[in-house]
Each structure stands twice: as structure tokens, then as C-alpha cells.
Structure 1
Amino acid sequence: MANLLFYMALILIWVMLLYHMFLMQGGYRHFQTYEKIIPKWEKNMVDLPTVSVFIPAHNEEVVIGQTLKAMSRLYYPKDKLEVIVINDNSSDRTGEIVQEFAEKYPFIRMIETKPPNRGKGKSSALNEALYQSESEIIAVYDADNTPERMAIWYLVMGLVNDPKSAAIVGKFRVINAAKTWLTRFINIETICFQWMAQGGRWKWFKVATIPGTNFAIRRSIIEELGGWDVKALAEDTELTIRVYNLGYHIRFFPAAITWEQEPETLKVWWKQRTRWARGNQYVVLKFLSQFFKLKRKRIIFDLFYFFFTYFLFFFGVIVSNVLFIINLFYDLQLTIGNVSLALWVLAFLLFLTEVMITLSIEKAEMNLKNFFYVIFMYFTYSQMWIVLVIYALYLEIKRVLFHQEVKWYKTERFDQKGKGGSL
């Protein structure tokens, strides 16, 4: 029995590793080709649609000033652009800072959340802005984001030129990547997510996931869907599944770039990632239970990815680790012996190879320092994820069994050398 479990665990781990290698190849191909279509698409950017940029903000005084500075520099006709900051029950200077920008820039305005949306989290804040705006296209950014000048232009360009796309998602990079060992790990993780999970799945399957920031969606689509799901902690993933079920696709267009702040302490990272894990587990279980009712079966690629990531893969890792540890103290008569060691070494080398190739896509990221960080990351950061996913699953099971209310955790921000604040 122990041998069977061990073999099953190894198969699950290797399937995931090989799948990510496959995605890495797709992401690299997408990197080599996505810019070629821009000159042709530029010619159709004539009769431009109106755009509303939604920025949910709860106690964001540390970062909101820098974010709005970036918004004020966006390349898009200002008579067709509005930036809406949704001040969600803030008790700090967020409202004052936003008001300063609103007085200087007519296309920036602030709205306050109202009951029942007040203080309920990101989805409720976004729904509030949806009710109080009329633009044809809605873009969403987190309050710690500084999009590059052309970001909105490229997001809109994708929607104008691809009528089958309900949403266009851009690329995000880590602005504080060099701050701590943790942010360096997150930077590597983020680059891999962009080019493997987003670029790779788009290239091979025409599938991408709406992120929490730097995306644009057609108002008609989000209204047809009834807005954002206030029960979902991962509102972006949940929205993704519903968009595909309508028969549209979501395009990954990395020309649209934003820079975002990542957690600099383990405590903040743990809370944020726990919310992410719980949110994605909620989405997987919600839609797998409805799978035969879903109209578009291509959604299986997205459900498969998240189900494998948050359930099967971690099950395989946990089982193999547990059996290995038990076997140190009690002979389980595992016959795999040296073969398991060879497979583990090969798995590590495969992990190292696919991550370093992915890092090579971004300028200056494939270097000796990151090479050693990737090695260290495998034995520390990657293992931390296992514990976190188990903890998140425990919380999610407890929520379902005891009918607990979903509580939103807002990620703590860090002052980047005094860049936050007012004008």
C-alpha cells in the first residue's frame, strides 16, 4: 500500500512539473510573437470607447498618492477616461489625498461605498463603482499599482481588435523586488505566473485568468454577469470562470504593464496568500460541483489548473514527504529506493531549468543571484506554500461546515521611500 501511494504521489508531482514545462514553452513563444500584431492593431484605434478605471481603496494613504500620479500620466484621451477611487470606509488620509488629485485632475473622482457594500471588501467596492459609472470599458487596478503610461491604451487596444475577448489582462511586475528575501522570491514567482500560467495557457489553450489588477473588461459583460461575487475571496478567478461560461475568451496581452507592491514581511504574505488559496479553493469547488451544468466545457483547462495546483499536486507532495519521513523511523518496505532519489534530483533540476528559462524572458532577471535564490526558494518558499494550502483548506472546510461569513483581508502596504502621500 505504501509503495502504491508513493508511486501515485510521484506521478502527480511529475505531471505538474511536466505541465509547467509545457506552459513555459508556450509562454516563451507568446513572448516572441505578441508584439508583432501591435502595428496592425494601432490602425484601428480611431473611434475610442470610454473607459472607467476602478481603484478600490481602504486605508491606502501610504500608496494611493503614487498610484494616482501614475494614473494622471496615462496615455488616453482624457475626455474619454475617468479614474474612480472607491473609498471603502477608510479611517486614514486616503480620502484627503484622493480629493487633492481630484481637484487638480478633472478625470479623477472619488466615490464612497454605501450600505450594504460599505466595508465588505473588494468585490462590494467594485460593484458600488459599477452602479455609479457608465463607461463602455472598465479597468481595475489595486491601490498599490503604478501602471506604465501605455497600460490602458494597450488594454483597450486588445478589446477593440478582438471582439471575442470579454477581457484583456496585462502583465504585472514587482516594484519592491529587491527589498527583502521574501520579495525576491515573490518576484520570481510572479514572473513564472505571468509567462507560464498566463502566457503559456493563452498560447496553447487560448485561456488566461483575470488577475486582481491591470485588466479591462467590457461593461456589457460584467453587467450581464451581475457584477462581482461578494462571497468570493478570489473574485478575479471566480469572474474568469463565469466569463468563459458566457462563450467569450480572456486574452493575455503583456504589452500592458503595471508595477505593484508585494508583502515585505512573512506575516503579511501569509495572510494575503491564505486569502488567495481559500478564494481559489472556493472557486474550484463551486464550479466543479456545477461542471455538468456549465455551457462551455473549455473551462476545464482553468478548473484543471487550479484543481491540480490547490488539491492534487499538494496531495502528492504531502503524501510523498510523509511516507519518506515515516520510512526513516519505521520500515515501510518501500521498493522504489534509489529510483525515488533519482526522480527527486531530476524533479529539482527540471524545476530549476524551467524557472531560469522563464526568468530569461524579463531583462536582467536571469542572473547568478537569482539562480541561487531559485535554489533556496525550492527548499523554503515552495515548502511554505504546502503548509499554507493545508491551512487554507482547513479554514475553508470550517467555513462551509459552520456557515461562517467570509471575511476580507486587506493587504498591508509598505512605504516605498516616502513615495506615498499627496501631491
Structure 2
Amino acid sequence: MGVVIAFVKLFGYKPEKRYKWEPIRDDLELGNTAYPMVLVQIPMYNEKEVYKLSIGAACGLSWPSDRIIIQVLDDSTDPVIKNMVKEECQRWASKGINIKYEIREKRNGYKAGALKEGLKHSYVKACDYVAIFDADFQPEPNYLWRAIPFLVHNPQVALVQARWTFVNADECLMTRMQEMSLDYHFQVEQEVGSSTYAFFGFNGTAGVWRISAINEAGGWKERTTVEDMDLAVRASLKGWKFVYLGDLHVNNELPSTFKAFRYQQHRWSCGPANLFRKMAMEIIRNKRVSAWKKFYVIYSFFLVRKIIGHVVTFIFYCIVLPASVLVPEVEVPKWGAVYIPCIITLLNAVGTPRSLHLLFFWILFENVMSMHRTKATLIGLLEAGRVNEWVVTEKLGDALKTKSGGKTPKKSRIRIGERFNFLELGMAAYLFFCGWYDLAYGKNRFFLYLFVQSVAFFVVGVGYVGTFVPSS
């Protein structure tokens, strides 16, 4: 991936060079009908703090007003929030915006169910493309002007995905760590998939789909918690291609509480593993794509990045390496314990050069999170208890500012069940014991790593990470 991304950057291998792209122009004879009809879907669920941002941004998209439909899919269970969202839609409708407010009686299928239901309405039949934005995403006004031409001029393209940028990356150290990981994902993983195999996982938001491609792939399915990745894989197996636009940015918010981040990572780790279990044989038997592309999807996309990466990080650095100090006969070579991991880490950090000074903290934090990701991955592979757990990632918006009156709260009521994480505390104790043993009896000096990693687990274990929202 490093070699490919270097080639892309050095030779300017942009999507505009790989695909036909030219702006859509007015036609004197056809008028606005020269522009394709676009549906903009905004799925939401009890997102009180951010719903105005996404609705406002969607209504501000620059596109002929008679060629765009804004569809707000509200699955909220709170009647107060439901009424607020409805009033916001009515406010924009009074300004002449073609906005539809849709609700469901039952939240079957979560987000996939909402998107699937949204495409069934009669007015959608006139639409060629659908843009999807989660409740905290704010596209720039020119978003459709940049993305739609790839779909119009390239009939083999099913999806155009934009890059995420984060408005609250500087909120706390945890959001800076997330920014580093996600910047690598967007600047390297998505770019490489788009540049070489025209396949990458749809990010679930900030993308535009060709509706006919969604239908040909079998539509939205509710069998996993990564309905976006599921659709992308199925569409790819039908021969459709995807385009990633790294210079088209869409602002959104990172989860800034550890509880919200942990739920998000459970879904992002469990879902792909479960999808791999369900689709591995289907990918292998597929006859419409090349063997090389199938190998890439199975080995690189799923096995290495979605399964092995999480498991190896936790098992090796948090279990095996610490345990090796207890057995003098075991010697872990320095190239395996230090040199290669350092090179891989540096390559992962190039996406966020402004945070290179935080690289040490990022490594420790990623090792802590690898425990949760490994647990979620195994749940997905084995289809165990929490395999279909869906918890909407809470975004604070202005919530903390409102609660504290714009000032940092002086005191907060701490509940042990909310603030203390006992798995992390258990790992902290294990690593501290191994570090102490190595200091007393060992010769590898692994205690230098073990002690600081133990501190990282302890800090997370006592909840001293992310933004803490007081109970009252």
C-alpha cells in the first residue's frame, strides 16, 4: 500500500485521469432536465445535538432546486426530538426546499432498514442517484457538482466516496488519536483501493450511489451491522467500480467520549468479521471479477485489515510479548518486537504529519483498543451474543457546552459503572506484573515498554480518556 500511494502522489494519478470527468452544463433546449435527479438521504436516530447541521448543509447543496430531493429518515424514539426534526424540515420546506420527512413505526434493520424503506417511496423512482449523509455530516455546497459527473460520464461507476474531515479533532487527546487512524484509512487505504482495484469499502456516509447499482446488487441488507460494506462488496462482485475523491472533504464530528468510541469500534470490528464469515465463499465462487481482485478482497481487505491486524496486535503485544519475560528460554528477536513494528507504525502515521509528536501515545492507545477490537472480531467470526448489537455513536455537538454553561464543570458525579473499565484495569495489572518481573529477573529490558503500556491501560481503565460528560 505504501508503494502504491507513493506512485499515486508522485505521478498525480488522480481520479480525473482514470475516469472521464467534465462539469455538467446548462442545455438551452433541455433546461434543468439536463441535470440528473438526485436524492439526498439523511438517516437519524435521536440525534438531538447535530440534526440541524446535516439538514442545513443538505438543503444548502448547490444543485437545480427541481432536480434534488432531500429525504430525512427519522427513526427517533423520543417524541420531543421527533417533533424538533419535523419542525426543522417544515422550516426548510417553507423556504421552497423540496424536503421530505419520513418516519417508521418500527426500527427494523436499523440504518439499513431506514435506507431501504426510504428508496421505496414513489418520488424516488424519478431519481438516478442517491447521496447519503449521517446526521453530523456537513457537505460543502459544491459537493454534488464534484461527485455527480463521475457517475454521469462513467456508466461502470456505482459509487463516489468523499473523504471525512473532523471539526472536533482538537477537542481532546482521544480525538487526535482517532484522527491519526482515520486519516491513514482515507489517505492510504481508500486511495489505494480506488487506484488499483476500483474497490474499497463504502464508509456509510458522504458518498453518492447509482440507484440502479444498489438495486442490481440486491439493495440494502440487514444481516450485519456494516450494511455499507455489505452493499459495497456485493456491488463489486457484480462488476461495478468505485471512485474515491480524496480532495472532496465532508466535515463531521468524532466521538469524544470513550463509551461512544468503544461502541463504535465494536460495530466497526464485529461487523466486517461477521460479513466475511457470510460472504467468503460467495466471493471465491464469483465469476464476474478477476482472481486477483478476489484475492485482494479476501486477503488484504478482510483477512489482514479487518481480522488479523486486530488480533495480532493484541495477542502479540499485550499477551505473548509480556508473557515471554516469565519464560527465560523464550527469546523474541528485536526485529520482530521493535524494528518492523516501528516501520509499520511510521507508515501508518504519515497521513497526519501534524500529530507525529503524538506517535508514542497513539501506539499505546491503539494497543489498548486492540483488546476491544479483538473481542468484537471474535464475536463477529463466531456469531456470538453481541454480533448484531447496534448502538448509535453519540456525538456531543453543543451538549457539553450547554451543560456546563460554556465553562468547564468544576465537579462531576462519578458512577463507578460509568467511569471504571475493569477489563482494562485487569490488563494493566497483568502488564505491570510482567514488567516488574522483567525488571527484577529479566535481561531483555521489555519492562520499559511494559510499564508504559500498563499505565495506558490503567488510564483508560479509570476513565481518564476522552471528554467526560457529568451525570448532572
Pick the aligned partner of 1:109 from 81, 100, 103: 100
Q: Is the 8 A contact 1:26 1:204 kept in 2?
A: no
Q: Is the 8 A contact 2:380 2:387 kept in 1?
A: no
- Aligned residue type for 2:389: K
C-alpha distance in 2 between matches for 1:139 and 1:292: 31
Q: Is the 8 A contact 2:168 2:254 kept in 1?
A: yes
- Aligned residue type for 2:343: L
Pick the aligned partner of 1:49 from 36, 40, 52: 36
Aligned residues: 384
- Aligned residue type for 2:37: T
- Aligned residue type for 1:312: I
- Aligned residue type for 1:267: K
Q: Is the 8 A contact 2:213 2:240 kept in 1?
A: no
- Aligned residue type for 1:387: M
Q: Is the 8 A contact 1:27 1:196 kept in 2?
A: no
C-alpha distance in 2 between matches for 1:246 and 1:44: 31
Instruction: Identify the residue that residue 373 of structure 2 maps to in structure 1.
Output: 389
Judged with a 3 Å threshold, the aligned counterparts in structure 2 of structure 1 residues 40 and 281 are, in CA distance, closer, same or farther, namely closer
Q: Is the 8 A contact 1:169 1:214 kept in 2?
A: yes
Instruction: Note the C-alpha offset of 1:259.
Output: 0.9
Greater relative contact order (Cα < 8 A, sep 6+): 1
C-alpha distance in 1 between matches for 2:25 and 2:368: 47
- Aligned residue type for 1:330: V
Instruction: Identify the residue that residue 9 of structure 2 maps to in structure 1.
Output: 28
Instruction: Note the C-alpha offset of 1:385.
Output: 3.2
C-alpha distance in 2 between matches for 1:59 and 1:264: 18
| Identity %, equivalent residues | 18
Instruction: Note the C-alpha offset of 1:324.
Output: 2.3
Q: Given the alignment of the two structures, is residue 251 of structure 1 paired with residue 243 of structure 2, yes or no?
A: yes
TM-score by length of 1: 0.82
Q: 1:142-291 to 2 correspondence within 5 Å?
A: 142-291=134-283
Instruction: Identify the residue that residue 327 of structure 2 maps to in structure 1.
Output: 330
Q: Is the 8 A contact 1:277 1:310 kept in 2?
A: yes
Instruction: Note the C-alpha offset of 1:394.
Output: 3.9
Instruction: Note the C-alpha offset of 1:267.
Output: 0.9
Instruction: Note the C-alpha offset of 1:60.
Output: 1.4
User: Secondary structure, in 3 states, of the residue corresponding to 1:290?
Assistant: helix
Judged with a 3 Å threshold, the aligned counterparts in structure 2 of structure 1 residues 316 and 39 are, in CA distance, closer, same or farther, namely closer
Q: Given the alignment of the two structures, is residue 301 of structure 1 paired with residue 292 of structure 2, yes or no?
A: no
Instruction: Note the C-alpha offset of 1:162.
Output: 1.8
Instruction: Identify the residue that residue 341 of structure 1 maps to in structure 2.
Output: 334
Q: Given the alignment of the two structures, is residue 99 of structure 1 paired with residue 87 of structure 2, yes or no?
A: yes
C-alpha distance in 2 between matches for 1:419 and 1:221: 43
Pick which of 231-240 and 325-334 moved more: 325-334
- Aligned residue type for 2:393: T
C-alpha distance in 2 between matches for 1:395 and 1:122: 21
Q: Is the 8 A contact 1:207 1:301 kept in 2?
A: no
Instruction: Note the C-alpha offset of 1:240.
Output: 0.9
Q: Given the alignment of the two structures, is residue 311 of structure 1 paired with residue 307 of structure 2, yes or no?
A: yes
C-alpha distance in 2 between matches for 1:303 and 1:333: 33
TM-score by length of 2: 0.74
Instruction: Identify the residue that residue 414 of structure 1 maps to in structure 2.
Output: 396
Q: Is the 8 A contact 2:54 2:133 kept in 1?
A: no
Pick the aligned partner of 2:62 from 75, 82, 86: 75
CA offsets 1:73-123 (integer angstroms, 9 cap, x no match): 1111111011101011431424423433334333122101244xx354100
CA offsets 1:18-71 (integer angstroms, 9 cap, x no match): xx4235425635866346689951266862210001111111121011111111
User: Rg larger in 1 or in 2?
Assistant: 2
**Pairwise CA RMSD of aligned residues?**
2.7
Judged with a 3 Å threshold, the aligned counterparts in structure 2 of structure 1 residues 26 and 379 are, in CA distance, closer, same or farther, namely farther
Instruction: Note the C-alpha offset of 1:341.
Output: 1.8
Judged with a 3 Å threshold, the aligned counterparts in structure 2 of structure 1 residues 95 and 213 are, in CA distance, closer, same or farther, namely farther
Q: Is the 8 A contact 2:58 2:138 kept in 1?
A: yes
Instruction: Note the C-alpha offset of 1:192.
Output: 0.8
Instruction: Note the C-alpha offset of 1:179.
Output: 0.7
Instruction: Identify the residue that residue 120 of structure 2 maps to in structure 1.
Output: 131
- Aligned residue type for 2:116: N
Judged with a 3 Å threshold, the aligned counterparts in structure 2 of structure 1 residues 131 and 332 are, in CA distance, closer, same or farther, namely farther
C-alpha distance in 2 between matches for 1:31 and 1:263: 33
- Aligned residue type for 1:311: I
Q: Is the 8 A contact 2:20 2:153 kept in 1?
A: no
Q: Given the alignment of the two structures, is residue 353 of structure 1 paired with residue 346 of structure 2, yes or no?
A: yes
Instruction: Identify the residue that residue 65 of structure 1 maps to in structure 2.
Output: 52
Q: Is the 8 A contact 2:180 2:351 kept in 1?
A: no
Judged with a 3 Å threshold, the aligned counterparts in structure 2 of structure 1 residues 325 and 355 are, in CA distance, closer, same or farther, namely closer
Q: Is the 8 A contact 1:58 1:89 kept in 2?
A: yes
C-alpha distance in 1 between matches for 2:257 and 2:175: 9
C-alpha distance in 2 between matches for 1:271 and 1:45: 46
Pick which of 278-287 and 30-39 moved more: 30-39
C-alpha distance in 2 between matches for 1:215 and 1:271: 23
- Aligned residue type for 1:21: G
